[in-house]
Structure 1
Amino acid sequence: MNHFIEKTLQLKDPNITIDTEKVDEVKVNGRFSLIYYGKLSYTPKACECCGIINNAFQVVKNGYRTDSRITLNTISAMPAYLKLKKQRFSCRECG
């Protein structure tokens, strides 16, 4: 089911996972809209700040940021949005 939703929403990033159990129909800007929920998580190869290679888990996962609302194509004549939680990271070398 998850693959079908990713194809329908035309998501190309393999690091995004969609919650197939939760789709809401709410009013956004006065119009009923479909809201999908997902998470973006991956293991970084190096620290963006100091550049240390992540061989021995120097860069660790550190929770999620607040939801970002991304506009998608309309589905069944309804606007669609993706509420995406983005993974946060912490580097043990540079903090």
Structure 2
Amino acid sequence: MRLRAAPAAAPADAPVRTSAPALREQARVAVVPAAPAAVDADADARLPRRQWLERIRARRAEGDLDGARASLERFVQTYPEARIPRDLRPLLGN
């Protein structure tokens, strides 16, 4: 009966070999950019409340309705107790 020796461990700086399908799957999962409106809403969320509402109005005036809606929805999530100004309520839909 012959015993096989365990393969030698790779040095810490050796490249990790991965199969092509596994690499494609990693690339597919890793490269999922955030939607632009979501990124804009994240930037708006750093503003004080009043400035944030003004930024939503500016987005609406610029024709960026998706960005204005996303930002206002984020505002409502962040400040659920806040009263939404009458002029911005149509962006929420319901």
- TM-score w.r.t. the length of structure 1 is 0.21
Which protein is richer in helix relative to its size?
A: 2
Which protein is richer in strand relative to its size?
A: 1
Q: Which has the higher contact order (CA 8 A, sep 6+)?
A: 1
- TM-score w.r.t. the length of structure 2 is 0.21
Structure having the higher Rg: 2
